[in-house]
Structure 1
Amino acid sequence: MSDEESWRGVAAEDTDELDSQVRVRLQARSRRLLGSLLRPHLWRCLFAVAIVVAQNAAALVGPLLIAIAIDDGIPSAVDGHTATLAWCVGGYVVSAFANSGLLLTFQRLSTRIGQDVLLDLRERIFRHAQRLSLSFHESYTSGKIISRLTADVDTINDLLDDGLNKLFNAVLTVGGVGTMMLILDVPLGLLVMAGFVPLFLVTRWFQRSSRRTYRVTRAAIARIIVQFVETMNGMRAVQAFRRESRNESIMDSLNGRYRDADAKAYVAIATYTASVRAIGNLSLALVLGIGAWRVTGGTLEIGVLTAFTLYLRRFYDPLDDLAMVTNSYASASAALEKISGVLEEAPSVPDPTTPKKLPKGGGIVFDNVEFHYGPDTPVVLPAFDLTIPPGQTVALVGATGAGKSTVAKLVARFYDPSTGAVRLSGVDLRDVTDNELRQRVVMVTQENFLFAGSVADNIALGRPDATRAEIESAAAAVGAHEFIVALPEGYDTDVRKRGGRLSAGQRQLVAFSRAFLADPTVLVLDEATSSLDVPGERAVQAALETVLADRTALIIAHRLSTVLIADRVLVIDNGRIAEDGTPDELIAAGNGEFATLHQAWVDSLV
């Protein structure tokens, strides 16, 4: 594995401790993601910056006008010349209104930009997660994806909603006020600038501390969401096996870790804020002391000292905001690391750069296929060769873990072979687009998923443009029509979450209807009849001849009643074909594994 591959998904996992080289790469990756999100809004961002610059310029005018009013306007007014004082008062009012109006405009614009960025980010995560291969989703739990899409995005939302406004204002205010103080009085300005040395050191410490802490909090909240999602999804098992206390113990531990990490973050920000205020108060005390001494000595005007003091308060107030922004940025940066880790995951079964069209037919060939699920996992299929002619129905039988489902997953291209090739109609599946393959190959599994919505919508999953007549015809072909019309609203009945309104057998019949309506060239049935009761199995058995007609089929089943309808039976043992023949031939042989299974099945019926 290359160095690039080794660190690419680091933030996709919950890694808390990172070496400096990996940390730099993750931060660079996060900045690339943030840049790609902001790039489409570049001109609006520049306009927002121009507005906030103008707003800060308006805010800086106020103290300067006060200094002029005190030193020139009031003495002139005493002598009967009020023009200078009037201009100062009017200018102050205008600057105050301009400051408020420009601030409102900036906040509305920045909020709109922020929401557009978040919309883009959510769509990217959802779209990319659907494109990622089955291998990713089998290792990266749904709870983590939910955490990326909710908690992490919300953290970035906090930064974009208020953080950008505070950041721009803080930077511009500190820069502008610092410049004005140096213009008003160089010695006092340099005294204030000297405070930047401890400020820089404290800020640097805070950035490092908060970034490290928020990596832990992002990981902790992800684990909490994972635990919650798994508990809710497995509630039937939780209550059946009385696992409530154990789950509460796990959740308490995860919550405790999150609490401790969050407490460290708040201690860091409290320390930083207190340090900034201490430096600010010390600077103010020194300015007032030295300024008052110079005023009494006649080397500094009272109006200048007043303006300088007002500027000094404005100089340190934004630093409190900067602390909050730094805190939000540290949290958002950790979230961006996690999100960018997901977005940089590449599908393990990518679409081909130069795709080939699948010709008619449906023959399947395994050409010297070797497969293992990971580089450090054992080989599941060693040098596997198999040819299935078009239109043939082949049943795979064998012990659990023999490799039957792996064969089915390779045919559906949920995985690519480690070596060798799987071909459909003579074309390597790696040269076929995912869209075309999903139209030509359909898999029906034991736990076929039903989405919340109507029965009709679930049947039409593979063909959303199907008419109601076509949907009902597909249901009738597999024997599902009768029970569907008996539902409260017939085909419009909501099956609810995961199809919970239907029995296991009914859900399976809906899945068969879905497959029949999709009309694939190749149909893969992976334990697809295991959830059916005896009447349901008989209905499906009767319909399977219609469903399997004129198409290539691969059946994985432990029920021999389903296997016996196949044209050919393969007995798989440790990833190899141990027996191959028609059901009658293998039964007649009398001494093979399939014959033994068949005899045991016959005895069980008696």
Structure 2
Amino acid sequence: MATTPAPAQDRSAVRALLRLWPYVRPVRARLFSAAFVAILASCVGLVIPLVLKWMVDGPIAGRDPAGVWFGALCLLLLGLTEALLFGLRRWLVARPLARVEASMRAALYRHLQRLPVAFHDRWASGQLLSRGMTDLMLLRMFLAFPLTFLLVNGVTILVGVIIMLLQDWTLGLVVLGPAVPVLVTCVIFEKRYAALARRAQDQVGDLTTVVEESVLGIRIIKGFGHHRSQARAFRDLSKTLRGTELRKARLLATIWGVIVTLPEVAIGAALVVGVVQVADGALSAGTLVAFLSTALALRWPVESIGFLLAMSQEAATATERYFEVMDEEVEGTTAAPDTGSGTAPDTGSVDVRDKGLRFHDVGFRYPDAPPGTPPVLQHIDLHIRPGESMALVGATGSGKTTLTALIPRLYELTSGRITLDGVDITDLSREALRTKVAVAFEEPTLFSAAVGDNVLMGAKDTAGTADLERALAVAQADFVHALPQGADTQVGEQGLSLSGGQRQRLALARAVVGQPEFLVLDDPLSALDVHTEAAVEAALRQVLADTTALIVAHRPSTVLLADRVALLSGGRIAAVGTHHELLRTNAEYAHLMSGEEEGAR
């Protein structure tokens, strides 16, 4: 299972969260307004103890019913005002934060589409899904609540402490006694909780991967009776995640216990001292009531510090995980810069010997290959002339599929270069290159969309019904017309509602629908029966007559589609010639074509 990069050791939650600013900037006015409204609401709440002091020392002490009713009305209005202001804050943040989450998710999706295939080879899909869903949900929750209330509660505590000190500075010092141990506890908690939050969120990604693989591979699981082992793997990961979440809960309970207990003890001590002072006549009863009411009003801001810090740490971890993906270099940043024009450079002066598809001393090693391992491909020199079809044959692991993936730049060359009509493929924008080159992969992938939409993905936006019908005819995909809604029939996820041969024919139709200049086919007929294969080959001959093509072939019938054959052995081109020439002159090729090595790749 692919693993995610380890978090940096010099982690800073604040530095991580500041990276959200570009996404938050467009809605900053409403967020700042919401924070101001929340601060105003908290300050309104702190006025209530002052009204209580006036009532106790005034109307209540003087037995003035009218004054008591007036004070009660003031308290009611203050309470309503506080509630309305908090409701306004909620309204201010709801829409913009949904917009921030949507924009971040869209940016992540766009970035994933531009990342090289090598990145997707390394990363488990569940880890990417958890970043696009769970982590972004955590960030929206952080922006909606902890971000605002860390500021609001900080201001509330500061204003409340000032009010208490002004009421009676000795009682104020008693209440402030636990401040230092609470701060120390928070610092220790932050570091420990951050590590657990990261571990839990990575484990959620692993669990998501298992669920996704189980759903996509349900036929294999059922076919081989592995539902119990798969359930056991899921249960083990769930148990691990549960253990991590319980450790998080225990840590949060510990800090909450400290944060709640110490202030409560301080308030109790202040109550005893205050009562003594009132009994001695050194303090009015109204002042004590106002002081204790203010202290009790500060209980929530103080007690909430624990889970606000916890949510902030989870948000910081989610931000780090999000930007681990966003910081990956997209295609084109390590090679010659894309022109972005979508057009090819001028080829009018290209030597006729360089026309067609040509490999110039090409070498390739996978980016994540262990140091010291030999390259997959080395010193590949091959020339496919304009309008020529060349079959690529080789044993398992010889590098055929890797070689075909280099042409549309799914992977970047390690050395050498590839040219199309004399133009280096790195001098073309990827849009221009992939307009010129169409690929049909050995594993046909279809999307949850209409059959026609799946096929037309290989064509320009101007392609229409005529192009679709022509491509289906070439691929002998007449079965499409027998589907319930014809070409508008929706295929299920991965196209699993169709047979393997049907999926392969649709993938072939997708490759030829755009009438590309260069065609790369990776064993395009392997899933077809003999009769369908013969019909497809007959139709393909007409397409190949006007196209420069490289065809990975395993069977003699597919090889015979090509004008010439290249034998790939040990990452090198060992021989080039016609099928009959190589049968006579090359023992390895004759062995491969004899069928003694099955499933050669």
TM-score exceeds 0.5: yes
Match of 2:599 in 1: none
**CA positional deviation for 1:88:** 4.0
Q: Distance in 2 between the 1:97 and 1:114 partners?
A: 26
Comparing 300-309 with 376-385, greater Cα deviation is found at 376-385
Superposition map of 1:408-427 within 5 A: 408-427=404-423
Q: Distance in 1 between the 2:403 and 2:45 partners?
A: 71
Match of 1:478 in 2: 475
Match of 2:352 in 1: none
Measured at CA, do residues 332 and 298 of structure 1 come closer, stay the same or move farther in structure 2, by a change above 3 Å? same
Match of 1:138 in 2: 121
Q: Distance in 2 between the 1:234 and 1:496 partners?
A: 14
Asked whether 1:275 is paired with 2:258, we answer yes
User: Residue 52 of structure 1: SS of its match in structure 2?
Assistant: helix
Match of 1:172 in 2: 155
**CA positional deviation for 1:434:** 1.8
Comparing 62-71 with 369-378, greater Cα deviation is found at 369-378
CA contact (8 A) 1:29 1:340 kept: no
Asked whether 1:389 is paired with 2:349, we answer no
User: Residue 462 of structure 1: SS of its match in structure 2?
Assistant: coil
CA contact (8 A) 1:522 1:552 kept: yes
Measured at CA, do residues 29 and 120 of structure 1 come closer, stay the same or move farther in structure 2, by a change above 3 Å? farther
Task: Summarize deviations over 1:26-62 as a string: whole Å, max 9, x none.
Answer: x476324322221222222221222112212211111
Comparing 396-405 with 155-164, greater Cα deviation is found at 155-164
Match of 1:34 in 2: 20
Task: Summarize deviations over 1:450-486 as a string: whole Å, max 9, x none.
Answer: 1122211111112344222331222123322x32212
Q: Could you tell me the TM-score, scaled by structure 2's length?
A: 0.91
Q: Distance in 1 between the 2:490 and 2:402 partners?
A: 34
Match of 1:521 in 2: 517
CA contact (8 A) 1:442 1:520 kept: yes
User: Residue 446 of structure 2: SS of its match in structure 1?
Assistant: coil
2:475 partner amino acid: V
Q: Equivalent pairs: percent with the same residue?
A: 31
Q: Distance in 2 between the 1:66 and 1:54 partners?
A: 19
Task: Summarize deviations over 1:165-185 as a string: whole Å, max 9, x none.
Answer: 543442232122112112212
Match of 2:547 in 1: 551
Q: Distance in 1 between the 2:292 and 2:14 partners?
A: 41
Match of 1:6 in 2: none
- Greater share of helix residues, 1 or 2? 1
2:227 partner amino acid: E
Match of 1:469 in 2: 466
Asked whether 1:507 is paired with 2:503, we answer yes
Task: Summarize deviations over 1:165-215 as a string: whole Å, max 9, x none.
Answer: 543442232122112112212121122222211110121222122111111
Give the one of 247, 266, 273 matched to 2:249: 266
CA contact (8 A) 1:107 1:165 kept: no
CA contact (8 A) 1:590 1:596 kept: no
Superposition map of 1:47-66 within 5 A: 47-66=33-52
Task: Summarize deviations over 1:500-544 as a string: whole Å, max 9, x none.
Answer: 222111111111221221221111001111111112211210111
Measured at CA, do residues 100 and 338 of structure 1 come closer, stay the same or move farther in structure 2, by a change above 3 Å? same
Measured at CA, do residues 28 and 367 of structure 1 come closer, stay the same or move farther in structure 2, by a change above 3 Å? farther
Q: Distance in 1 between the 2:576 and 2:53 partners?
A: 99
Q: Distance in 2 between the 1:122 and 1:335 partners?
A: 13
Measured at CA, do residues 257 and 536 of structure 1 come closer, stay the same or move farther in structure 2, by a change above 3 Å? same
1:271 partner amino acid: T
CA contact (8 A) 2:452 2:487 kept: yes
Asked whether 1:112 is paired with 2:95, we answer yes
Comparing 457-466 with 352-361, greater Cα deviation is found at 352-361
CA contact (8 A) 1:359 1:425 kept: no
Give the one of 44, 55, 61 matched to 1:69: 55
CA contact (8 A) 1:358 1:424 kept: no
Comparing 369-378 with 500-509, greater Cα deviation is found at 369-378
CA contact (8 A) 2:39 2:156 kept: no
Asked whether 1:373 is paired with 2:363, we answer no
Superposition map of 1:232-247 within 5 A: 232-247=215-230
Match of 2:589 in 1: 594
Q: Gapped runs of 5+ residues in structure 2?
A: 348-354, 597-601
2:199 partner amino acid: V
Q: Could you tell me the TM-score, scaled by structure 1's length?
A: 0.90
Match of 2:427 in 1: 431
Comparing 333-342 with 356-365, greater Cα deviation is found at 356-365
1:368 partner amino acid: D
Q: Gapped runs of 5+ residues in structure 1?
A: 1-11, 602-606
Q: Distance in 1 between the 2:245 and 2:155 partners?
A: 30
**CA positional deviation for 1:150:** 2.0
Measured at CA, do residues 15 and 366 of structure 1 come closer, stay the same or move farther in structure 2, by a change above 3 Å? closer
1:141 partner amino acid: A
2:396 partner amino acid: T
1:514 partner amino acid: R
Match of 1:400 in 2: 396
Q: Distance in 2 between the 1:560 and 1:134 partners?
A: 31
Superposition map of 1:14-29 within 5 A: 14=4, 20-21=9-10, 23-24=11-12, 27=13
Q: Distance in 2 between the 1:53 and 1:529 partners?
A: 69
Measured at CA, do residues 600 and 190 of structure 1 come closer, stay the same or move farther in structure 2, by a change above 3 Å? closer
Measured at CA, do residues 145 and 565 of structure 1 come closer, stay the same or move farther in structure 2, by a change above 3 Å? same
Task: Summarize deviations over 1:208-239 as a string: whole Å, max 9, x none.
Answer: 22111111111211111111111222222222
Q: Distance in 2 between the 1:37 and 1:136 partners?
A: 24
Match of 2:136 in 1: 153
1:198 partner amino acid: P
Q: Distance in 1 between the 2:338 and 2:310 partners?
A: 47
User: Residue 99 of structure 1: SS of its match in structure 2?
Assistant: helix
1:42 partner amino acid: R
Give the one of 175, 192, 196 matched to 1:192: 175
User: Residue 519 of structure 2: SS of its match in structure 1?
Assistant: strand
1:353 partner amino acid: P
Give the one of 223, 227, 246 matched to 2:210: 227
CA contact (8 A) 2:522 2:552 kept: yes
CA contact (8 A) 1:416 1:430 kept: no
User: Residue 380 of structure 2: SS of its match in structure 1?
Assistant: strand
**CA positional deviation for 1:308:** 0.6
Q: Distance in 1 between the 2:195 and 2:586 partners?
A: 65
Comparing 441-450 with 591-600, greater Cα deviation is found at 591-600
1:527 partner amino acid: D
User: Residue 19 of structure 2: SS of its match in structure 1?
Assistant: helix
